[in-house]
Structure 1
Amino acid sequence: MINRDSILDCMHKESYKPLSYHELKAVFGIKDVDEDIKFSKIVGKLEKEGEIVKTRAGKFGLPEMMNLVKGIIHISKKGFGVLVPDKAGLGEVFVYGKKLNGAMHNDRVMVRIQEKGYNGQRPEGTVIRILARNTRELVGTFTKGRHLLQVVPDDSRQIYPIYVKASRKWKAKEGDKVLVRISSWPERDKVAEGKIVEVLGRKGEAGVDLKVLAKKHGLRLEFPDNVMEEARNVAVEVNAEEISRRRDLREWRMVTIDGEDAKDLDDAVSIEKTSKGYKLGVHIADVSHYVKEDCKLDREAFKRGTSVYLIDKVLPMLPVELSNNICSLNPQVERLAISCIMDIDSWGQVVDYEIVKSVIQINERMTYSDVNRILADNPPALKERYGELVEDFFLMKELSDILRRSRLNRGMLDFDFPESKVIVDEEGFPLEVKRAERGPGEMLIEDFMIKANEVVAEHLHNLGLPVLYRVHEKPDEEAISELNKVLAVFGHKIKGHKVSPMLFQGILADIKGQPEEQMISLMILRSMKHASYLPEPRGHFGLASPYYCHFTSPIRRYPDLIVHRVLSSLLDGGMTTRKKSSLEKKMTIYGEQSSLQEMKAEEAERELLDVKKAQYMSQFVGDEFSARISSVQAFGFFVALENTVEGLVHISSIADDYYLFSDRTYTLRGRHSGRKFAIGDQVRVQLVRVDVDEGKIDFELLQDE
């Protein structure tokens, strides 16, 4: 049978050499006109997607045969690009700005390697072809030149201004935030053009910030009417017929444990002591029962990829009829679930397990704060209120400690970064910024979810079924080389050619409690690749886990819904060969989209957090603070306040001497006075400037310092 796979298989053979279209036809014995048309379409599509390449001589071959790599280009604010290859295991490629040839941030491109990387350095290349444009609309600021109108993108990684024409419908004013749709993309010698499709308003106007943020990062605010209609139709209560097909766990004692504000409750836990250890149940909302493959809800969820949590607002992956109601594991109501029930010994090893479709009924909707209070001092009021559940919480804590110790023993990396929590009023203005506390309640849920994800991933892998794995690859040589330069300053080094999580864990243990802990931890984190979703199990470096997937949050993450769909097919009587083949073909697309949407969500959440911190601090301009130096650079040093707010003390504002930066000790030292600023030093600073739009905060060192 002639299809894309058979053509690619032919080209992957060692004996293959580039062939013309007619020569390829002869190889496959195509003589019929209809077959010729079909063959031509397949070859054309493969070329368009970059799976195969046509040379100047008109011959077809694989990109790797021609020193070409395809993938996603990430463009830096400084104007250069880094290609992240589609093929797992290939290293990144550096692309100078003048060699981007019109490629924009997050485009899928083909790059020709022009210079190989040596001594751990990335190879260098040139964009020769843009396979797919990822950006069709941009948010930016409308500006009027003497002869031209243009929109300057808010995202500094979008390095090309978009030239526009005056519009009768959208009368933008100088400085307005607008949404522009690109009609002509930039090329080597051609500017980008577009038209304004929406005037969002002025920065600072009510509601404008959220619209700008959503449009800037390509987030979807509203659900289409047909999706909402389908949500209302499928959100029906559990019926007796469906219950009869499932394991009845309604009598099991189980709880959800989440934050106070959470409304999409997709995981519940149960526990009991056994003669060999513990029986842990992780019960996850069966979203796949309501959201069928390729229905309107599914297509919308695929586009969104994930729920986005914007401090006091949520852009859910699924409408609230599902996310907050029929799929949410609310207490004292029957809910459909997929349960992973594990027998775990006293060393934290899973000795037996089963994965079943179930019907459950939650006893209590617990909060992290209440569980933490119970585990800390077990107050009489909470003890009386939750009765026999209290004993379960202490048992959960016991098992949690065992599981965490087991993961640490195999090399799991345990970063301890201070997280921020912003409290806002009804208008979204920040009232307080504080350090988010992470107690045993949060940790035990994390431990239980990780264990369930590992069990499900290995289970499906052993059965040879298609899975969307959560992959965290080990750092490459260049990243390790750069990291070692920093580590050497503090007497550490990543040794050996075989990089393992255990090596990093040793360094994290050594710096625990030291002034440089946060900086080195951050540098280690930045040396690692971003986790992504792939159809093959390449392991999770940070968790030191060979098989890992996301199974526990199908209400808010699309990859989890895909894993549930695979499990559901398996549990409903087995997966047919046809179904398996269909899913295998889709997994790569599912993974690429989910990884991309996750990155967009993370960027939006991080940007909003910075803006809210800046908004909060703007009321304190002129005030003095005690702070700790968190990192030192050639241009100054960053300081962190107790509430996690960070800002820059620029070197130009330290007027008592001329300061020199040492990249050997990561310090600033005065040329004449010998005065030194190092990571961990306590200083007194004054807040002098806040840029809310950019989320930037500037301090100056007080003179008496």
Structure 2
Amino acid sequence: MDKEELLCLMRTQSYRPLTAAELMEALGQEDEEAFRELLHSLEQEGYIVRTRKDKYGLPEKMGLVSGRLQASTKGYAFVVPREKEQADVYISALNLNGAMHGDLVLARILPATTGRRQEGEIIRILQRANRRVVGTFTATRHLSFVMPDDARLHQDILIPPGNSLGAREKDKVVVEITRWPEARRSPEGRVVEVLGQAGRPGVDVLSIIKKYDLEPEFPPEVLREADGLSKEFGPRELAGRRDLRDWRLVTIDGADARDLDDAVSLELLPGGNYLLGVHIADVSFYVREGSTLDREAFNRATSVYFVDRVIPMLPPRLSNDICSLNAGEDRLAMTALLTITPRGTVKDYELFPSIIRVRERMTYDAVRRILVDGDPELVERYRELVPDFQLMARLAAVLKRRREKRGAIDFDFPEARVELDDQGLPVAIIPRRRSVAEGIIEEFMIAANEVVARHLYELAVPAVYRVHEEPAPDKMEELNNFLSFFGLQIRPNREGRVNPRAFQEILTAVQGRPEERVISTVMLRSMRHARYAGECLGHFGLASPYYCHFTSPIRRYPDLVVHRILRETWSPGGLTPQCMAELEAFVALAAARASEREKVAEEAEREALDMKKVQYMERHVGATFTGVISGVVPYGFFVELENTVEGLVHVSTLTDDYYHYQEDQLALVGEHTGKAFRIGQPVEVLVARVNVEARQVDFELVKPEATVDTGPGPVAGVKGRQQVKSREKDTSPAVSKTRRKIRGQSRRKRNKATRGRS
């Protein structure tokens, strides 16, 4: 019995709640045990609800909402519905009824009170999300408890006597919850792992690793399988491969990269066309479907990159050795050979297995110094390759212009790199932007990914695609409300759809202005998160109808699956109907798993980076910095420094006047002086306080009397510009959520897809 068939029946307008027996009769089902298992599964996942009279219906038709609970640090929470059409539901602290952040819950909608916000109460907890929690152990004379690191878990976890595992005061620990919280009772648990004293080198990042349930170590059986693989090539390995070992191939990566999974080559053909080679490590040759290695890679789905370490998807034997395209060593690869016209159109292509030998391992910095700085030492050292790099830069510029012409959106956020000392403490935060070297690799990888995606789509075989859908209408409305403060507007086309070119036009218009970073950030937040899917739905941000991930199989599972599918299409006879059906089911499963683990990896990486930034600022209490106002709230405004650190200037520290929040202007305005603090305004601040545990930095304004009221005004050169105007206060949950995000929550950085690769 298919769940969609059951849900389709329940979604009909004439449906009324039915018992299991009545549903079986309506759907013509005979296997009662299997049908009841399906009902139970759908109930536990929040798709359906069973009433007290043992009848089944849809939550949304019964005044209920099922979804994940997103708690705030203030005590209240929101239920984010499973059904995207439903609005988020506000849950006060009194109505949580034992639910915790991340739980899958069922909420009852309460009678409307004030405002337009839906409010509710939790009536059922369907799935618990926090069976293990990381926190700080504290012991008193009569009581021991663990304070969770995640501030969204509001209650301390009591540790009964004999369950502390020898933990000491201020130890970071992992605690397993043995009794869930109730309305007026704290949760209980037992310590299952002691990580070490808070503040010791490495314990901070290890705590985040455990918090997100990441596993640094591989199981013994996985390591044994990896160790059993050979680097030697015989007839089996070379069969059907094209030998490219005499080609001039290079890798271009960050200086600290160890998992080198892509190499490039380029030559100019007679007539002016380019022959671009994108050569990707053939991981699928070693990691066979259904093997122990494959199951582990599926579970991990992605490598996770922290400031001081990497948790790889594959064991180091593969990721850093056998599969890594190390210079001077023969490697098995999957090659995409693209013939590209001087205008950037892919005229022809070939996809085939190959054997390669990388000529040089280059770094982004070295290529930049050759192409931009003309470093004489590097130019001499790589004199045979310099013409290739110059040709690569020329082609990358052509490809980028073509992408911009079709409307691709280019968010150029600086990525902060934190330098650590031997003790793991931050000594510098270095913002870095993409240079010509990163641009070369990014454009070449995008071109290869698009070609492979279109190839698989036209073959009509199942595949894992990288999809990025256009923004939701409500998000566009919120974005335009914000942009109106700057005289900007994004308008849909004649079909009512948003063109990515409209986003790029605004990014171009605000380039170089003080509010550029803030507008770019809010625009990025308004867009959907890119994900993996078994359907080719296009990539909005790249303005590309076909896109997949093909270029990083060492560190992303979807790329590995795409390689396997390509290999299947090359086999004699192609894919059988049975194989097609099995593959279709698997790509949906792999896409869902990869999307889920990607989000976890991004959150863990971002939290670790933010923590190191705050640790760095702890050393600079009393120092002054310049920055830009990135968010304004009733109790102050947030400032983002040039090193990407963000902190709060509380309104109580502004002593030259009484300041009031003007929501229609997103500004704090002085009662007597009329001075204002607005988004995008440059300011100088002093670091007043730092709280590493809470990840908070407090600033105080330097010379507040120097601030003047200069409204944002319209930005010229953008179609459909709109003057700033006041409007009725909007307190809807969706708008309120966006404004809370604008208030300085952690920014969602560019997709971790690549260190410069999309």
TM-score normalised by the chain length of structure 1: 0.89
Q: Distance in 2 between matches of 1:580 and 1:514?
A: 52
CA contact (8 A) 1:91 1:122 kept: no
Residues 61/501 of structure 1: CA separation in 2 closer, same or farther (3 Å cut): same
Moved more, 124-133 or 585-594: 124-133
Alignment map for 1:462-541 (pairs within 5 Å): 462-496=458-492, 497-541=496-540
Distance 2:452 2:362 in 1: 25
Letter in 1 for 2:544: S
Q: Distance in 1 between matches of 2:47 and 2:256?
A: 46
Relative distance call for 1:398 and 1:644 in structure 2 (3 A) is same
Counterpart CA distance in 2 for 1:461 and 1:575 is: 14
* Matches of 1:355 and 1:420, distance apart in 2: 36
Residue number in structure 2 paired with 1:193: 188
Which residues of 2 match residues 372-391 of structure 1 at below 5 A? 372-391=368-387
Question: Which SS does the other structure have where 1:672 is aligned?
Answer: coil
Identify the residue that residue 291 of structure 2 maps to in structure 1: 295
Any idea what SS the aligned residue of 2:656 has?
A: coil
CA distance in 2, matches of 1:326, 1:458: 30
Going from structure 1 to structure 2, the CA distance change for 1:20 and 1:272 (only over 3 Å counts) comes to same
C-alpha distance 671-500 of structure 1, shift in aligned 2 (>3 A): same
- State the superposition RMSD in angstroms: 3.2
Inter-CA distance 115–462: structure 2 relative to 1 (3 Å threshold): farther
1:410 paired to 2:406: yes
Moved more, 15-24 or 166-175: 15-24
Separation in 2, partners of 1:103, 1:292: 42
1:204 partnered with 2:204: no
Q: Tell me if 1:644 matches 2:644.
A: yes
Show the counterpart of 1:326: 322
**Number of the residue aligned with 1:655:** 655
CA 1:468–1:77 in 2, change beyond 3 Å: closer, same or farther?
A: farther
Tell me, what secondary structure is at the counterpart of 2:545? coil
* Equivalent residue, structure 2, for 1:349: 345
Partners of 2:394 and 2:179 in 1: CA distance: 60
Does residue 1:563 correspond to 2:562, yes or no?
yes
Tell me what 1:151 maps to.
146
Contact kept, 8 Å, 1:472 with 1:539, in 2: the verdict is yes
Higher mean displacement: 535-544 or 51-60? 51-60
Query: What are the superposed Cα offsets for residues 374-396 of structure 1, whole Å, 9 maximum, x if unpaired?
Result: 21143443333223322121111
Question: Who is 2:223 aligned against?
Answer: 228
Q: In the alignment, which of 246, 257, 274 is matched to residue 251 of structure 1? A: 246
Alpha-carbon separation, structure 2, partners of 1:112 and 1:336: 57
AA partner of residue 697 (structure 1)? V
Contact 2:163 2:190 in 1 (8 A): no
Asked if 2 retains the 8 angstrom alpha-carbon contact of 1:235 and 1:290, the reply is no
Structure 1 stretch 172-181 or stretch 504-513: which is displaced more?
172-181
Question: Matches of 2:335 and 2:81 in 1, distance apart?
Answer: 36
Alignment of 1:65-464 (within 5 A): 72-82=68-78, 90=85, 93-97=88-92, 102-109=98-105, 129-143=124-138, 149-167=144-162, 170-186=165-181, 191-274=186-269, 275=271, 277-464=273-460
The alpha-carbon deviation at position 219 of structure 1 amounts to: 1.5
- Specify whether residues 25 and 346 from structure 1 end up closer, same or farther in structure 2 by C-alpha distance, changes over 3 A only: same
> What residue identity is the alignment partner of 2:451?
V
Q: 1:668 to 1:221 in 2, by over 3 A?
A: same
Letter matched to residue 647 of structure 1? G
Contact map agreement 2:201 2:425 (CA 8 A) in 1: no
Aligned to 1:553: 552
1:368 to partner: Cα distance: 0.6
Cα offset, 1:189, TM superposition = 7.0
Maintained 8 Å contact 2:518/2:680: no
Counterpart of 1:596?
A: 596
Deviations 1:403-438 (A, max 9, x none): 111111222111122221111122212222122142
1:699 deviates by: 2.3
Give the corresponding residue for 1:698. Answer: 698
Q: Which moved more, 1:675-684 or 1:516-525?
A: 675-684
Check if 1:613 corresponds to 2:601. no
Q: What amino acid is the match of 1:504?
A: F
1-structure distance, mates of 2:241, 2:546: 27
SS of 1:470's equivalent in the other structure is: strand
Deviates more, 1:70-79 or 1:404-413: 70-79
Structure 2 letter corresponding to 1:297: L
| Residue 652 (structure 1) shift | 1.3
**Would the aligned equivalents of 1:122 and 1:478 in 2 still touch at CA under 8 Å?**
no
C-alpha separation in 2, matches of 1:461 and 1:159:
48
How far the C-alpha of 1:258 sits from its partner, in A, is 0.2
Contact kept in structure 1, 2:266 and 2:392, CA below 8 Å: yes
**Other structure's SS at 2:366 match:** helix
Contact 1:237–1:326 (CA<8 Å) still a contact in 2?
no
Q: Residues of 1 paired with 2:164 and 2:678: CA distance?
A: 56
Render the CA deviation track for 1:276-317: whole Å, top value 9, x for unaligned.
622222111111222222322222222322211111311111
Q: Give, in whole Å, the separation in 2 of the partners of 1:266 and 1:248.
A: 18
Q: Deviations over 1:300-359 (max 9, x none)?
A: 222322211111311111111011000101112111122222222222222222222222
| Cα drift, residue 266 of structure 1 | 0.7
Does structure 1 conserve the Cα–Cα contact (< 8 Å) formed by 2:338 and 2:349?
A: yes
Alignment partners' CA distance in 2, 1:276 and 1:421: 39
1:564 Cα deviation from its structure 2 partner: 2.1
Are the counterparts in 2 of residues 238 and 335 from structure 1 also a CA contact under 8 Å?
no
Task: Name the SS for the 2:191 alignment partner.
Answer: strand
Please say which of residues 534-543 and 438-447 is displaced more in the overlay: 534-543
**Range that drifts further, 43-52 or 527-536:** 43-52
Residue 735 of structure 2 corresponds to which residue in structure 1? Answer: none
Report the residue type matching 1:530 in the other structure: H
User: Is residue 629–residue 678 contact of structure 1 (8 Å, CA) maintained in 2?
Assistant: yes
SS in 2 for 1:234: coil
The 3 A distance-change label for structure 1 pair 364 and 487 is same
CA distance in 2, matches of 1:589, 1:68: 28
Please tell me whether the aligned partners of residues 460 and 467 of structure 1 are also in contact (alpha carbons under 8 angstroms).
yes
* Cα distance change of structure 1 residues 676 and 58 upon mapping to structure 2, 3 Å threshold: closer
The residue matched to 2:228 in structure 1 has which SS? Answer: helix
How far apart in 2 are the matches of 1:14 and 1:254? 62
Which deviates further from its counterpart, 67-76 or 451-460?
A: 67-76
Aligned to 1:580: 580
Q: In structure 1, what residue type is equivalent to 2:499? A: S
Q: Distance in 2 between matches of 1:187 and 1:222?
A: 35
Unaligned runs of 5+ in 2: 707-758
- Partner letter of residue 248 of structure 2? R
Equivalents in 2 of 1:617, 1:30: separation in Å?
64
Please tell me the residue identity of whatever aligns with 2:659: Y
Match for 1:229: what amino acid?
R
Aligned amino acid, residue 316 of structure 2 = V
Paired residue secondary structure (1:152): strand
Change (3 A) 1:395 1:64: farther
Q: How far did 1:662 drift?
A: 2.8
Shift in Å, 1:65? 7.0
Secondary structure in 2 matching 1:567: helix
Identity of aligned residues (%): 49
8 Å contact kept, 2:201–2:424 = no
Would the aligned equivalents of 1:82 and 1:92 in 2 still touch at CA under 8 Å?
Answer: no
User: 1:115-171, CA deviations, whole angstroms, 9 ceiling, x for partnerless residues?
Assistant: 99xx9x897766665444333211123345797643332112234443331225613
Could you say what secondary structure the match of 2:619 adopts?
A: helix
Are 1:610 and 1:696, in contact at CA under 8 Å, matched by a contact in 2?
no
Report the counterpart of residue 666 of structure 2 in structure 1. Answer: 666
The one-letter code of the counterpart of 1:421 is R
